Structure 1
Amino acid sequence: MLDFNPLYSTPQIAAIEQFIDQHYPLAGPVSCRMLQRGLNDVYLAVASSGERYVFRLSHRRARGPADVKTETAFLAHVSQSDVPVAAAIPTREGSLFVEGDAPEGPRQAVLFRAIEGRKPDTADAGDARANGKTLALLHNAAETFQPEGALYRLDLEHLLHRPLARICDSGVVEDAGVRSDLEDIAARTAKAIEAFADLTWTYCHGDCHGSNARINDAGEAVFFDFDDGGPGYLAYDLSVFLWAQTSFGRRSTAMWDAFVDGYRAVRPITPDDFEAAHRFVIVRHFWLMGEYASRTQEWGSEAVGWIARQANFLKTWETERCVDRLL
C-alpha cells in the first residue's frame, strides 16, 4: 500500500465539532462551518445557546509550529489593558490553546469568541484611523509584556533572509536575472534598515493590514489574527498597513495618512521608525512571497507563479519611495 505522507489534510466538520465539544466548556452540541482554509483552517462555531465563536486550526508552516503559547498570553495581557482584541477562550483544563493530531503531524488550535461588528471599509479614513489607534494602544500595552520563550522574532532573519531563501529554493523564479535582482534588493534593504540608529522594538501584531479587524458600534477596530505576531520591529508593524495600500497595483496612500493620524493620536512615532516603515514595505513583500513559495509543493507552482513578477514593484518602490525620501 502506498503511503502518501500528506503535507496538509482537511478534517471533516464532524471531527472539528467533536474536538471542540471535547475540549471546551461550551453549550453543546456545537455546530461548525468552515470559513476559510489554506494559511490556517478557520471555522465558525455556534453553541446550542446561540453564542458564536471562531475556531482556528493552525497550518503546519515552514517556520515551524504556531506559537500559540506566546500569542494567547499576549492577547490575555492586552485584553486586561482594555485593548480591543479577540482573546482566546480557555479549555476545560484552563489552557488558552490545545493541540490535535492530524495525518501530517500535530496542529495547534485556539478558540476565540466571535467579534461583533462590521468589516472595515478599506477606503474609509475613519476605519483606517481606528486601525491606527488600536495598533497604538496595542503597542502601549506591549511595553509591560514580557514574552517568555517566544518561538519567533520578527527580525530581518525571520522577515527577509529566510523568505528570500525559500523563494530561491522553491524554483518558482526561474530567471537568474530576476533572482539576482531580488537578492540585490534584499541586501540593500537590510543594509538601509540596519543603518537606522535606534529602531523601536515591541510585540507586533504582525499582520495589521486593515482587514484583520471588525469595527464595533463604538467605532473601535477590534483586532484578531495574531498568529504572525511576536517580538519585533515596531516599524514593521506600521509598514504592513502601508504595504496593503500600495502593493499589487494599489497606489493610494490616503488611508495610510489616516492610519498614521490615528496612531499618533495615541502615541508618537519616532522619525526613524516612520522612515524605516517605508523600507519595511519591501521586507513585508519578501515575507509574503516567502510564505507562498514555501507552499509550492502543496499549492502548485501555478498558484505561486506571481512571485516571479514582483521584482519590478520592489525596485520601483525602492527608488521612488525610499531613496528619494532620504535625499
Structure 2
Amino acid sequence: MLDFDPLYSTPQVEAVEQFINHHYPLAGPLSCRLLQRGLNDVYLVVGSHSERYVFRLSHRRARGPADVKTETAFLMHLSQSGVPVAAPVPTRDGSLFVQGNAPEGGREGVLFRALDGRQPSTTDAGDARANGKTLALLHNAAETFSPDGARYRLDLEHLLHRPLARIRDSGIVEDAEVRSDLETIAARTAKAIEAFGDLTRTYCHGDCHGFNARINDAGEAVFFDFDDGGPGYLAYDLSVFLWAQVSFGRSSTAMWDAFVDGYRAVRPITPDDFEAAHRFVIVRHIWLMGEYASRAQEWGSETVGWIAREAHFLKTWETARFVDRLF
C-alpha cells in the first residue's frame, strides 16, 4: 500500500491546547478553537481567567518557510517604539515563537494577546485615516530597525516575477492570450517602477489593506498580521490600501484619500513614492494571484479559478491610470 504525503494537515484542537500549555506560561486550563484555516491556521485561546489570546500556526508557502524570527523582532521593536501593534507573547524560555512538527514538516507558531476594539469600517474615513497614521508611525520606527537575516525581500522578484511564474506554472490560466496580457502588463509595470530609480525603502507591513487592524477606544488602528512583511518598497506598503479600495469591483477612492491624509499627518510621502503606489496596485494584484495559484494543488483549481479572469481588472487599471504612458 502506498502512503499519501500530505500538503497540509490540520492539528486537533486538543493537541494545539497541549502545545500552547507546554510552551507558554498561561493560566490554565486553556480552551482553544479554530478561527481560520487557510494561508495560516489561527486559533482563539482563552485562559482560566477569561484572558484572550490568538495563536497563529504558519503554513509553508511557495515563497518558503515563515520568517517569524524577523517578524517577531520587528513587532517587539514597534511595540517598544510606541506603535500600536499586537506584540507576541514570550514563551517559557523567552522566545517569541515556537516550532512544532506536522506530517508535512515543521510549522512555526506565534502567540499574541487578542486585541480589543472593533473591526475597521469599509466606509468610515476616520478608520482609513487611523490606518494611514499607524502605517506612518510604523515606517518612522522602521528607520531604527535592522532586518538582518530577513528571508523575504519585498522587491519585484518576490512581489511580481515569481508570482507571475506561479500563475503560469499552475495551468489555471489556460487562455494563451490572457497569459500574454498578464506578462505584458507585468513587464510594463516593472519597467515603469524601475524607472523611478530612487523609491524609498523601508521595512514593510506587507498587508496593510485596512482590515489587519482593530480600532481601539482612542481611535487608533492597532495593527496585526505581519507575516507578509519584510524590507522593501514603501510605495508598495502604501499601495496595498489603495488596491483594497479598487480591486474586485470596489471603488472607494475617498477612503484612499483619507488614508493618505492620515499618513501625511505623521510623515511626508515623496512624489515618486505616491506615483509609484498607483503602479504597485498591479504588482499587489499579481502577487495575490500568485499566492492563490500556488495553492491550486491544495485548494483545488475551482477554488482558485478566479485568477484566470483578473487580466481585465489589470488592463482597466493600467489604461485608466497610465494610458498616456503605456507606449
TM-score by length of 2: 0.99
The answer to whether the Cα contact below 8 Å between 2:188 and 2:326 also exists between their aligned partners in 1 is no
SS at match of 2:303: helix
Whole-angstrom CA distance in 2 between matches of 1:147 and 1:48:
37
Instruction: Give distance in 2, aligned partners of 1:135 and 1:64.
Output: 26
State the distance in 2 between where 1:152 and 1:197 align.
21
Q: Structure 2: which 5+ runs fail to align?
A: none
| 2:293 paired residue number | 293
Question: SS at 1:100's partner residue?
Answer: strand
CA deviation vs aligned residue, 1:145-168 (integer Å, no higher than 9, x gap): 001100010000000000000000
Match of 1:171 in 2: 171
1:201·1:232 contact (CA, 8 Å) conserved in 2?
yes
CA contact (8 A) 1:99 1:107 kept: yes
- Counterpart residue number, 2:149: 149
Counterpart of 1:98 in structure 2: which amino acid? Answer: V
**Distance of 1:158 and 1:197 partners within structure 2:** 18
Verify the 8 A CA contact 2:44 2:52 in the aligned structure 1.
yes
**How do 1:72-221 and structure 2 match up within 5 A?**
72-221=72-221
Identity percentage over the alignment? 85
Contact 1:129 1:258 (C-alpha < 8 Å) held by counterparts: yes
* Post-superposition offset of 1:197: 2.5
Pair 1:230 & 2:230 matched: yes
User: Deviation of residue 326 (structure 1)?
Assistant: 9.8
SS in 1 for 2:242: helix
- Report deviation, 1:324: 4.7
2-structure distance, mates of 1:315, 1:31: 48
Partner in structure 2 of residue 241 of structure 1? 241
Per the alignment, residue 10 of structure 2 pairs with: 10
1:273, distance to aligned residue in structure 2 (A): 0.2
Q: Structure 1 length as normaliser, TM-score?
A: 0.99
Q: Map Cα deviations across residues 247-298 of structure 1 (whole Å, 9 max, x no partner).
A: 0001220100000000000000000000000000000000000000000000
Q: Which residue of 1 aligns with 2:25?
A: 25
Give, as a single letter, the amino acid of the residue that structure 2 aligns with 1:109: G
Aligned length: 327
Structure 2 SS opposite 1:17? helix
CA distance in 2, matches of 1:19, 1:149: 28
Inter-partner Cα distance in structure 1 for 2:153 and 2:57: 22
CA distance in 2, matches of 1:136, 1:324: 31
Q: Per-residue CA shift, 1:181-209, capped at 9, x if unaligned? A: 00000000000000003100000000000
CA distance in 1 between counterparts of 2:8 and 2:126 reads 39
Letter in 1 for 2:299: W
Does residue 274 (structure 1) correspond to residue 268 (structure 2)? The answer is no
2 CA distance for matches of 1:214 and 1:139?
19
Please report how far the alpha carbon of residue 323 of structure 1 lies from its aligned counterpart in structure 2 after TM superposition. Answer: 3.7
| Deviating 4+ runs (over 6 angstroms) | none
Alpha-carbon distance change, 217 to 326 in structure 1, aligned in 2, over 3 angstroms: farther
Kept in 2: contact 1:278–1:322 (CA 8 A): no
Corresponding position of 2:314: 314
Q: Secondary structure at the match of 1:302?
A: coil
Residues in 1 aligned to 2:159 and 2:133: alpha-carbon distance in whole angstroms? 24
- Post-superposition shift, 1:2? 2.5
Distance of 1:229 and 1:314 partners within structure 2? 24
SS in 2 for 1:53: strand
2: CA distance between counterparts of 1:47 and 1:112? 13
Structure 1 counterpart of 2:258, one-letter code: A
Q: What is the alpha-carbon distance in structure 2 between the residues aligned to residue 52 and residue 83 of structure 1?
A: 21
Query: Equivalents in 2 of 1:195, 1:3: separation in Å?
Result: 51
Q: Which whole-Å CA distance do the structure 2 matches of 1:113 and 1:14 have between them?
A: 20
Structure 2 letter corresponding to 1:86 = A
